[in-house]
Structure 1
């Protein structure tokens, strides 16, 4: 009996040892239907599961390495572009071309912001970046676009996701201001007991009321109910980022203005807010 037990157990040990040394395809030859055979079948099943797990881990590690390399390349490209733009800016300054050197300076500021898009920013910093963005869009679209900023001092240090306002301004330019004779965008912030409201208004063409109702209905849905199948993807991205930062009560609402144009109002409840940065402390 001891000999009959010793031989299959020895085979079990040999299979486990070979598997541990890297032969992931090794399996035990199972014969009969006794307890030893059942043990062997269980061992084979366990080795199958271990082999799949090892394969999944290897795939995951390979994917991680690829993603890390891609992230590194993405970081190198913008830095290379920024350094190149800086050289061009210096050449323009030497030739006293202040207009184009200023535009390149604005572009460099935006590129640096995109590199740090996962870092928060204050409302004051966001409006400064919008100024750079508007400078670029004025040249690109050849329009005399004006940006007016009126911030409640109590809200200037409000911490926001970086570049949260840029898609709203971009929508205003593309959908209502490109063909306007005197295009203007106004940004206002006001603080109240329940939260902060930021309004981005323009004097463009406005929108159809039924279309606005449809957009507001979609933007008001919880993030998990969004179908994503409509054209204002940038606005939905803004709403989702706001709710991640300020909670599910954060909202974005569009409205036509009585004097013409449109407004986009962000409501940010203070109960979920991360905080404010005192003046002079941002980078």
Structure 2
């Protein structure tokens, strides 16, 4: 079950990595856009609120400028000027009559602006309210009038205060505008002050905005008295931040998580402050955040839809490769994978097919060489004879030869016993020392001397240090035998065989040279072709050379194959190189 799920896990892993990369890239891009856009939008929201504050300031200033201009028209009114001049020094009925005339004039002016003006009255140069019913005279001793009481050079708006109408016991929240009255014919003559009680609710009407839009309005007069709202408890959380630098405050200031937007109201020398909480700005940004999140999600979904087919195209060839590997692991070396993707995966499939083909060839070669090795072992085994029986028989021959005083027969038999003792032990992979091989060849040639009248002489040229090194057992015997029977005996003259063994750079150099009849060029070429063939034909000439060559290839590889140099009627030289083996003690 785990094997069946493995391709799915690979696909899921690649898909997960791809999706994670997409999500990370899209997320980082969206976050970067958010970091870039958020300050811009925040500033835009602040500017929008700044425009609101500016508009409120302009509306309030327009109302106050209208009041100021209206008051200017009253103080230069001829009737008002004449009445104030004549009332100086009057008393009794005349004073009362002119006072009534003045109130009538002011009442008419009040009625023309009754939407904003509650009432108005005049204070003479001695700060006495010119009124008949004494409605407002007592208010002149309140703190809102302190700035104007003894200062004939100050015009302006008072702070918010309460006035009472004793006639109907009603109270009003008002802002009073105070304007000094001078004789227009003699400007240095101070006549008094005009006081206009303005409806507080009307004055601050532009400042009344819905708190849900995210901005709160606070206003202060030039003495830092709260104008709006009229309840300080409501405004205490929006007190103006301190400006300790001594320089004018900035139009927009961020302090303790709030933006303070300042705008002046010049006619009254008031300051209007719009307070915007950063929480409100963040709340206003929610829509933008939702839009960015939606765009991010849509981009992620689109890219996911595009990446999934790509991942599938990558994983399908991988699944083919995995299936092919499983078949090869089961021994199905004829497996081939066909992938036509035009990319590295197709190249991997081609390399895989070549690798499987090479493995198959190597296995076949290994099996073939193992078969040859077993054949050589079998042949060596077939050549073995029961040594106990042979030794007893030959010892009897030696005993009989000594009884009849036949020394040559005894010596020949003794050499033959020594030769057999080394031959019967043979295995293709067994080794012996070079010194033992020398003794073995000497025993063999001694036997042949009795047979062929001493026609063969063996000459040894072996470095003394090489005699203890290991060499494959009986590797020289087939070569010596080949030189005797195919080189020297066919010749009419006595022959010699020179065996040379030297050491050079970690290798043993072995050569067997004779002065026999040599090998014809065509036969030599055929012999070399046959030696290159992996199979052994029992009908071949020089089969001993083939056996030695195959043993060397089996034991040491292609670098140890036999090399033959022969000239007709001059002799033959066979040589090979094998790694120097450990000395045999």
Q: TM-score range by the shorter chain?
A: 0.5 to 0.7
Tell me, yes or no, if structure 1 residue 137 matches structure 2 residue 444: no
2:468 equivalent to 1:157: yes
Name stretches of at least 5 consecutive residues in structure 2 with no aligned partner: 1-380
How far apart are residue 104 of structure 1 and its match?
A: 0.5
Matching residue of 1:200: 512
Give CA-to-partner distance per residue, 1:87-109, whole Å, 9 cap, x none: 22133234443222111111101
Q: Judge conservation of contact 1:245–1:274 (CA < 8 Å) in 2.
A: no
Residue 141 of structure 1: how far off its partner (Å): 3.3
Contact kept, 8 Å, 2:431 with 2:470, in 1: the verdict is: yes
* Residue of 538, 542, 549 corresponding to 1:239: 549
Partner of 1:122: 433
Partner residue, 2:81? none
Q: Distance in 1 between matches of 2:393 and 2:536?
A: 41
User: Does 182-191 or 151-160 show the bigger shift?
Assistant: 151-160
Pick closer, same or farther for the CA change 1:203–1:264 going to 2, 3 Å.
same
Report 1:129-278 matches (<5 A). Answer: 129-178=440-489, 179-193=491-505, 195-219=507-531, 221=532, 225-226=534-535, 228=537, 230-256=540-566, 260-268=570-578, 270=579, 274-277=581-584
SS at match of 1:249: helix
Give CA deviations for 1:153-197 in whole Å, capped at 9, x if unaligned: 232122122211111111111112114321111111111115211
CA contact (8 A) 1:143 1:183 kept: no
* SS of equivalent to 2:458: strand
Distance in structure 2 (CA, Å) of the matches to 1:249 and 1:86: 44
Alpha-carbon shift at residue 275 of structure 1 (Å): 2.0
SS in 1 for 2:562: strand
The 8 Å contact of residues 520 and 567 in structure 2, kept in 1 or not, is answered as no
1:257 positional shift: 5.8
Report the counterpart of residue 102 of structure 1 in structure 2.
411
Q: Which residue of 2 aligns with 1:33?
A: none
Q: TM-score under structure 1 normalisation?
A: 0.63
1:29-76 CA distances to partner (integer Å, 9 max, x unpaired)? xxxxxxxxxxxxxxxxxxxxxxxxxxxxxxxxxxxxxxxxxx8xx65x
Give the strand-richer structure, 1 or 2: 2
- Could you tell me whether the CA contact under 8 Å between 1:203 and 1:262 is conserved in 2? yes
Q: Which runs of 5+ in 1 are unaligned?
A: 1-70
Aligned residues: 200
Aligned-residue Cα RMSD (Å) equals 2.5
Query: In the alignment, is residue 90 of structure 1 matched against residue 399 of structure 2?
Result: yes
Q: 1:227 deviation in Å?
A: 5.2
